[in-house]
Structure 1
Amino acid sequence: MAPDPRIMTAVEQLGYRVTVGDVASKAGLNINLAQQGLLALASDAAGHLQVAESGDIAYLFPKNFRSILRNKFLRLRFQEWWAKVWRVLFYLIRISFGILLLLSIVLIVLAIGIILMSLNSSNDNNSDRGGGSRSGGGGMIFMPHFWIGPDIFWFFDPNYRSRSQQRRASSRTSSRNEMNFLEAIFSFLFGDGNPNAELEERRWQEIGTVIRNSQGAVVAEQIIPYLDDLGEGYKREYEDYMLPVLSRFNGRPEVSPSGEIVYHFPELQTTAQEQHPQPVAAYLKERLWRFSQASSGQIMLATGLGAANLVGALVLGSLLRGGEIAAQLGGLVAFVQLIYPILVFYGIGFLAIPLIRYFWTQWKNGQIEQRNQQRQQEAVAINQADAALQKKMSYAQQFAASEVIKQEDLVYTSEKDLLDQELERKDQIDAEWQKRLESDS
Structure 2
Amino acid sequence: MTASPDPAILRAIESLNYRATVGDVATQAGLNVNFAEKGLLALASQANGELQVAESGEVVYQFPRNFRDILRDKDFRLRLKETWEKIWRVLFYLIRMSFGVVLVLLIVASFLAILALTIALSSNRDDDRGGDFSMPTVWFSPDFFWIFTPDYDRRRVDLQHSDLNFLESIYSFLFGDGNPNADLEERRWQSIAAVIRSNRGAVIAEQIAPFLDSVGTVSEQESEQYMLPVLTKFDGRPEVSPDGQFVYHFPSLQTTVSQQERQWLPAFLRESLYQFSQASSGQITLAAGLGVALLILAIVLTGMTAGIGIAALRVLAFIGLGYSTAYLLIPGVRYFSIKGRNQRILDRNRNRELRAKQLAQSDPIVQHKLAYAQQFAAETVIQQSDLIYSTDRDLIEQDVDRSAQIDAEWQHRLEGKQ
Q: Same fold (TM over 0.5)?
A: yes
CA displacement at 1:212 relative to structure 2:
0.6
CA deviations 1:324-373 (Å, max 9, x no partner) are 4x3xxxxxxx4222232221110111111101101111111011001001
- Residue 247 (structure 2) pairs with residue 262 (structure 1): yes
**Aligned runs of 1:166-177 on 2, under 5 Å?**
167-168=153-154
Q: Name whichever of 85-94 and 282-291 sits farther off.
A: 282-291
Q: Equivalent residues in 2 for 1:20-419 (5 A)?
A: 20-128=22-130, 140=134, 142-144=136-138, 154=142, 156=144, 165=151, 167-168=153-154, 178-324=163-309, 326=310, 334-419=311-396
Structure 1 residue 41 displacement after superposition: 0.5
What residue in structure 2 maps to residue 149 of structure 1? none
**CA–CA separation in structure 1 for the residues paired with 2:398 and 2:123:** 100
Check the 8 A contact 1:10/1:27 in 2, yes or no: yes
Q: How far is 1:90 from its partner?
A: 0.3
Contact 2:119 2:136 (8 Å CA) reproduced: no
- Structure 2 CA distance for partners of 1:155 and 1:395, relative to 1, 3 Å: closer
Rounded to whole Å, the distance in 1 between the matches of 2:318 and 2:119 is 23
Report the Cα offset of residue 113 of structure 1. 0.3
Post-superposition shift, 1:170?
8.8
Residue 280 of structure 1: how far off its partner (Å): 2.3
When residues 316 and 418 of structure 1 are mapped into structure 2, their CA distance, relative to the original with a 3 A threshold, is same
Q: Secondary structure at the match of 2:275?
A: coil
Task: Specify which of 402, 406, 411 is matched with residue 425 of structure 1.
Answer: 402
Percentage of identical aligned residues? 52
Q: Provide structure 1 residue ranges, at least 5 long, that are not aligned to the other structure.
A: 147-152, 327-333
The CA deviation at 1:83 is 0.8
What letter is aligned with 2:153? Answer: R
Cross-structure match for 1:331: none
Q: Secondary structure at the match of 2:264?
A: coil
Q: Deviations over 1:164-200 (max 9, x none)?
A: 85733799xx98x812111111111111111112211
CA distance in 1, matches of 2:26, 2:143: 59
The 2-side partners of 1:170 and 1:54 are apart by 68
Give the distance between the partners of 1:185 and 1:256, measured in 2 at CA. 60
Helix, strand or coil: the match of 1:425?
A: helix
**8 Å CA contact 2:211, 2:268 repeated in 1:** yes
Q: Could you tell me how far 1:434 is from its partner in structure 2?
A: 5.6
- Quote how far apart the aligned CAs of 1:107 are: 0.8
The question of whether the paired residues in 2 share the 8 Å contact of 1:108 and 1:316 is answered with yes
Residue 81 of structure 1 and its aligned partner are, at CA, apart by 0.3
Q: Which of 19, 22, 47 in structure 1 is aligned with 2:21? A: 19
CA–CA distance in structure 1, aligned partners of residues 105 and 252 of structure 2: 61
Change (3 A) 1:288 1:438: same
| Letter of the 1:339 counterpart | L
After TM superposition, give the deviation of residue 420 of structure 1 in Å: 1.8
Q: Which has the larger radius of gyration?
A: 1
Q: Distance in 2 between matches of 1:259 and 1:437?
A: 48
Q: Distance in 1 between matches of 2:231 and 2:211?
A: 14
1:279-330 alpha-carbon deviations (Å, 9 max, x no partner): 2221111111111111111111001111011011111111111224x3xxxx
On the 8 A contact 1:286/1:372 being kept in 2, the answer is yes
Structure 2 residues not aligned, in runs of 5+: none
Q: Measure how far apart 1:426 and its partner are.
A: 3.8
1:218-255 deviations in Å (ceiling 9; x for gaps): 00000000112211132111000000000110100111
d(CA) in 2 for partners of 1:426, 1:227: 51
- After TM superposition, the structure 1 stretch with the greater mean CA deviation from structure 2, 25-34 or 387-396, is 387-396
Structure 1 residue 394 displacement after superposition: 1.3
**8 Å Cα contact 1:219/1:392 also seen in 2:** yes
The amino acid across from 1:396 in the alignment is A
Distance 2:45 2:150 in 1: 58
Q: Is the 8 A contact 1:188 1:354 kept in 2?
A: yes
How many residues end up aligned between the 2 structures?
412
Distance in structure 1 (CA, Å) of the matches to 2:75 and 2:263: 34
User: Is the contact made by 1:113 and 1:143 (CA closer than 8 Å) also made in structure 2?
Assistant: no
| 2:321 partner SS | helix
For 2:218 and 2:369, the matched residues in 1 are separated by 21
